[in-house]
Structure 1
Amino acid sequence: MARGNTRQRIQDVALELFAEQGYEKTSLREISERLEVTKAALYYHFKTKEEILISLFRDLTRPIDELIAWAGEQPRTLETKQEILRRYHVALTGAAPLFRFMQENQATVRDLSIGETFKERMVTLTRLIQEPDFAMADRVRCISALFTMHAGMFFMQHVDGDPEEKRDAVLEVAVDLVTRAHQGPARG
């Protein structure tokens, strides 16, 4: 557990258990037992599993909110859009366990408030890396760049190779997709 305080330890252990046995099958009692604290001590910080998950989501995705705020103030150039992807890549890497959990528990996430929040962020990011006048294929390239990063994080763990090299390759493909979209026939 890289993070130190009690609240963060609870989040980390809960996420470990959610990943191991699923959100629905994990109880607050199991979280408190893994932490070796009483349920009362756990309740002091979080009353429900949903509160834990929402707090995790807010804490680990804060860099994405900061990225969106930054990107909204930048010129709409190809270089800015490539930087958006690089920064998003760093944010995804930092929150990899949460995003793996979200991928593996899509139905649960969809039913919680974080599902809608995540969807809104993705829509905003897709708007930030494409232009309304792009041809449809180029708009698809931009959207695919973001999903390449998500799918890459999830599926590349099953591909042999150096983890850093795999992350770099995923980013390279995402940047290439956005670059190609910006070099489309109308902008040529």
Structure 2
Amino acid sequence: MGERRSGTRERIQAVAVELFAEHGYEKTSLREIAERLDVTKAALYYHFNTKEAIVVSLFEDLIAGIDEIINWGMDQPLTLETRQELIRRYGRLARERPKSMMRFIQESKTTMQELAPGEKLQCRFRTLSGMLHAPDAPLDEQLKSAVALITASASVFMLKDAEATDDERYEAGLKLALELLSSEPAPQSTMR
């Protein structure tokens, strides 16, 4: 029973973020989400009683996944292999999110700033990015780390018009992200 409920929750999240990406957060109503899901508003309210609750749940799930990656990385030596594995794990996490989520994040910066998870997500992103370079790295290397994360997570959305499968887009983004990291000098310290 819990698995069915979880599947419904994920389905609601996926449809909601799809509508948010298509029409904008402010212009999407719970009624439209329920209609797209072909359920009653009461059924939707059972899981989420506001649009904000849906967005918060999406980002809480994403933040929890990023926290797992950060915690893993904190126990690893700061080597090129560790940094590349951090990118791979983050790319997989982002890939597991609903496809429209990156588009929603990019196009809803104001909404993201207004919701509590938005700041938490930015903080986790900065922490993870900081783990990809030495603490005293020059600005261009720090930027490469941030760009590598964005590339690993947004390639499917950013290349949506390219004649390729989602898998091919993801692999292209991951390849570039790993290249960005491998072009940096190796840090000389450990994560902790």
- TM-score after normalising by structure 2: 0.83
2:178 matches 1:175: yes
Q: Is the 8 A contact 1:89 1:171 kept in 2?
A: yes
RMSD: 2.3
CA contact (8 A) 1:19 1:101 kept: yes
Structure 1 unaligned segments of length 5 or more: list them: none
- Unpaired runs of at least 5, structure 2: none
- Rounded to whole Å, the distance in 2 between the matches of 1:127 and 1:115 is 18
Number of the residue aligned with 1:97: 100
SS in 2 for 1:126: helix
SS at match of 1:158: coil
Residue 122 of structure 1, aligned match among 120, 125, 150: 125
Name the CA distance, whole Å, in 1 between partners of 2:40 and 2:166. Answer: 38
Pair 60,38 (structure 1): closer, same or farther in 2 beyond 3 Å:
same
1:45 partner letter: H
1:37 Cα shift? 3.1
Partner of 1:19: 21
Q: Distance in 1 between matches of 2:133 and 2:159?
A: 26
TM-score w.r.t. the length of structure 1 is: 0.85
Same amino acid, percent of matched pairs:
45
2:65 paired residue number:
63
Q: Is the 8 A contact 2:66 2:90 kept in 1?
A: yes
1:140 equivalent to 2:152? Answer no
Higher relative contact order (CA 8 A, sep 6+): 2
Q: How many residues align?
A: 183
2:159 maps to 156
Secondary structure, aligned partner of 2:134 = coil
Note the alpha carbon deviations across 1:112-152, whole angstroms, 9 max, x for none. Answer: 11210111011101111110232333222222212333453
Residues 83 and 34 of structure 1, relative CA distance in 2, 3 Å threshold: same
